[in-house]
Amino acid sequence: MVGEGSYRRGVPAPTPIRSAVAALLLLLPLAACAGTGGREADAPALASDAPLPAAVPEGTKLIVGDPPTKVALQLSGELDSFSFDLEWANISGGPQTSEAFRADALDVGAVADIPPIHATWTGLPVKIVASRFRKDPLAHPTYELGIAPGANVRTLADLRGRKIAYSPGQAQGALVLRVLKKAGLTRQDVTLVELPSTGDVYPNALASRQVDVAPIGGVNIRRYTAKFGRDGATTIPHGLRDDPGHLYVRTETLRDPAKAAAIREYVAAWARASRWVYEHPEEWIDGYYVKDQGLSAADGRYLVEQAGEPDLPADWTEAVERHQETIDVLAAETGNPPLRAADLYDRRYEATAAQAIKGGAR
């Protein structure tokens, strides 16, 4: 439910993103609060292998960049039930989240699987504290490969020699590299055209034949074929899992025992909100897609059907293994050093979401 911005290896986010985040931080009293939370400056830090505190101390505050969950909690009636002060930042996607993390102005971000990797590569230590997937990810993919009119691409084998939209550091960019590997191709076998995947950039690039292939997601899948199908525009499945969604935080934030406890409480609420969205589709369509996002009810219904049922596993072993495969592909293609996916996860939170769904954590 979130977008991914673009990174280049070792290079900060583009100036417009920096400016947007800077403007946001001027409007929100974030920086002073995010760094202190509920822990006094001289209080002992929480060790990375220490058990999470069971209670959240009075005066604790979290700043969270997870706009869809805020709406879900409002609609479900749980928004005001937290034991700590919760402030929302209108921040989503990897670049904005990393900027806010670096400014000590955000505690929790919601992204897919690529931002934690790139944050680590650019010297920002982070940990994943919650993971969500789709029960039937191949039947409910996040992206499909959009095919330009007249490109004559029907299978992955047809990608050889094609111009493919590529956004370094984004989920879509990583998907392109994984698709090429599945097809037995390398980036030298195609022409990667660097484009941001925001808004209608990819559909328009396809329609104008700027590129032959581009991974498109959300309502763009529906809208692209509806608008350009008569000209020969199509989509094809890529056949890979593309469903991870994570909550992640700075490693430093978890040294604050008060924030570590509050994050556990937020993860539990996030899990319940995820389940509530699935079990109340009409309320979600109206309250989020129509009233909050300005989409039509038809678009909202399409997105709900596309998402399917959420999977909140109590065991992250398989998720870590899949994440490692993605890291290996990215490292080989970008020249960045290999990482251990297991080091990105704080497994003290591993069962929190699943227990919350069962009523075991609140």
CA distance 234 to 145: 9
Q: Where are the beta strands (DSSP E) in the chain?
A: 61-65, 85-88, 108-111, 126-134, 143-147, 163-166, 191-194, 213-217, 234-236, 245-250, 310-311
Please, what is the Cα angle at 102 between 253 and 14, to 5 degrees? 145
Query: Element (H or E) spanning 73, and its range?
Result: helix 67-76
Q: What is the DSSP letter of 87?
A: E
Token pair in block for residue 154? 């029907």
CA distance 199 to 171: 15
Q: Where are the beta strands (DSSP E) in 3-155?
A: 61-65, 85-88, 108-111, 126-134, 143-147
Residue 209: how many other CB atoms lie within 10 Å: 12
- Could you give all domains of the chain from N- to C-terminal order, each with its CATH number? 15-136+243-357 (3.40.190.10), 143-236 (3.40.190.10)
Quote the pTM value: 0.86
Please give the biggest Cα pair distance in the chain.
67
pLDDT digit string (tens) for the chain, length 362 residues: 433 333 333 333 344 444 444 444 444 444 444 444 445 455 689 999 999 999 999 999 999 999 999 999 999 999 999 999 999 999 988 889 999 999 999 999 999 999 999 999 999 999 999 999 999 999 999 999 999 999 999 999 999 999 999 988 788 999 999 999 999 999 999 999 999 888 899 999 999 999 999 999 999 999 999 999 999 999 999 999 999 999 999 999 999 999 999 999 999 999 999 999 999 999 999 999 999 999 999 999 999 999 999 999 999 999 999 999 999 999 998 899 999 999 999 999 999 999 999 974 44
Report how far Cα 53 is from the mean position of its chain's Cα atoms. 27
Confirm if 262 and 62 have CB atoms less than 8 A apart. Answer: yes
